[in-house]
Amino acid sequence: MSDATNEALLEAREAAEAAQDAAAQAADAAAHATSIAERLASGGLEGSADAMAAVAHGASGGAIDPFVFRLSIFVLAIFVGYYVVWSVTPALHTPLMSVTNAISSVIVVGALLAVGVDVASAEGTGLARAFGFVALILASVNIFGGFLVTQRMLAMYKKKER
């Protein structure tokens, strides 16, 4: 055979090996995506952020780390929250403060549960109790401040007595 034919055969073999490698990687990615879909369907992944991060990780063949995906969601939530809060008109402030107080009351219930954890039940309960106590204090301050601000906002709408 001529040199050109041997060279063409060598290139064809390399191309076939590269195609086999690509097919194997695609099969691995498909298997990974299938396992993630099965875990999602069975409820094995809790929370939508975890589910989306796992799907992005599987769909990209592992190129996107789930931490990076969660971090990007957190940063986007910061920007959305900032623009939502600063565009609230004063007339809507009171109902929104009521909703914030309701959310904080749910946090107080969870914090009370965390503080009430039995110390002898498991390791790490001291840390859970400490975080629960901090959450209880911060949520209580938030509720108290929310009621003060709501009272002040409602006083703005009362007619002045002469």
* DSSP string covering 104-161: HHHHHHHHHHHHT--TTSSTTHHHHHHHHHHHHHHHHHHHHHHHHHHHHHHHHHSPPP
Give the pLDDT band of residue 22 (cuts 50, 70, 90). Answer: confident
Q: What percentage of residues in the chain have a pLDDT greater than 70?
A: 70
Q: Give the confidence band of 120 by pLDDT, cuts at 50, 70, 90.
A: low
Query: Can you tell me the distance from the alpha carbon of 46 to that of 67, in angstroms, rounded to the nearest whole number?
Result: 15
127 in the same domain as 146? yes
Query: Looking at the predicted structure, is the pLDDT value of residue 95 above 60?
Result: yes
If asked whether residues 64 and 104 sit together in one domain, one would say: no
Would you state the pLDDT for residue 71? 87
**For the whole model, what pTM was predicted?**
0.42
**CA distance to 34, 60, 62, per residue, from 28 (Å):** 10, 11, 11
DSSP-derived secondary structure letter, 62: T
Confidence of residue 7 (pLDDT cuts 50, 70, 90): confident
Number of domains the chain is built from: 2
Instruction: Say whether both 70 and 12 belong to one domain.
Output: yes
Distance of CA 92 to the CA centre of its chain: 27
Check whether residue 23 and residue 78 sit in a common domain. Answer: yes
- Find the domain containing 31 and state its range: 1-87
Domain boundary among the residues 66, 87, 108 is at 87
Q: Look at residue 145 and tell me whether its pLDDT is greater than 80.
A: yes
> Do 63 and 3 reside in the same domain of the chain?
yes
* Whether residue 72 is found in the same domain as residue 121: no
Last residue of a domain, one of 32, 65, 87: 87
**Above 80 in pLDDT, residue 134?**
yes
My answer on whether 72 and 127 are in the same domain is: no
Given a cut of 60, whether residue 44 has pLDDT beyond it is no
**Pick from 58, 87, 116: which residue ends a domain?**
87
